[in-house]
Structures are given as C-alpha cells and as structure tokens.
Amino acid sequence: MTRTSDFSRVCIKSSKKKVEYATTDYVLESLYLMKARDDLPVLELLDLLVDGKMDSVSFSRDFPHCYFYARTHADYVSMIIRRMDEGKEIEFQVPLKTLKLSLKDSDEDILRP
C-alpha cells in the first residue's frame, strides 16, 4: 500500500539589495512628497521622534498599502518605508539635527500667513 504525503505550499522570496546615495535634502523632499501624494502622517510621526516623546514609531495602511517605521538613535533617525504597490522597501538615515531643523522650518512655513 502506498502512503500519500501531505504537501505544503512554500514560497521563497529573494531580493537583491541595491545601495544608492542621496542628499539629505532629497530624502526630506521625498518625505514631504509622500505626505502630499498619499496623505501619510510621516511628518507628524517624525515630530514625535525629534521632540523626544518616543523612541520609535510605525504606521501602516491598507490603501495604498504602505508601512512606515522610524527610530531615533544617538545622532540620527533611521526609517523604513515599504510600499507594496511599488514592490519596494526603502531604508535610509537622516541626521537628527538636520531633521529637527527641517521639521521646524516646515512648521514655520505652515504658520506664516
């Protein structure tokens, strides 16, 4: 008598990591674009980090499906952005001092008449 085996579906994902370089200004502009294009609260979450109210923040949303994670370190903030519709995960770091100044400037621009 032949014994049948149970089968399980197995998915193996592999990804190639591609390292590129960008100026901090470009990274910050990209965050502003994300906020405007997808209405994501990334700047509000980063405000909580630079004010020292939290060590890390994360946010996810179903449509468009995206995931945002940021964590403060001694002198920089690391961020991960995952967008399923684009099939990409972007990871970058911004100096804490630069991020504080940028967010402060954006707040002042919003308050100006």
- The pLDDT tens digits of the residues spanning 78-95 come to 999 888 777 788 898 999
pLDDT at 112 over 50: no
Contacts with 87 (C-beta within 8 Å, 6 or more apart), sequence order: none
Task: Report the alpha-carbon distance of residue 50 to residue 45 in Å, rounded.
Answer: 9
pLDDT at 12 over 80: no
pTM over 0.85: no
pLDDT tens-digit profile of 29-50? 888 888 888 888 888 999 999 9
Q: Predicted confidence band at 4 (pLDDT cuts at 50, 70, 90)? A: low
Each domain of the chain, given as residue ranges in start order, spans 24-106
Give rounded-to-5 percent helix, strand, coil for the chain: 35, 25, 40
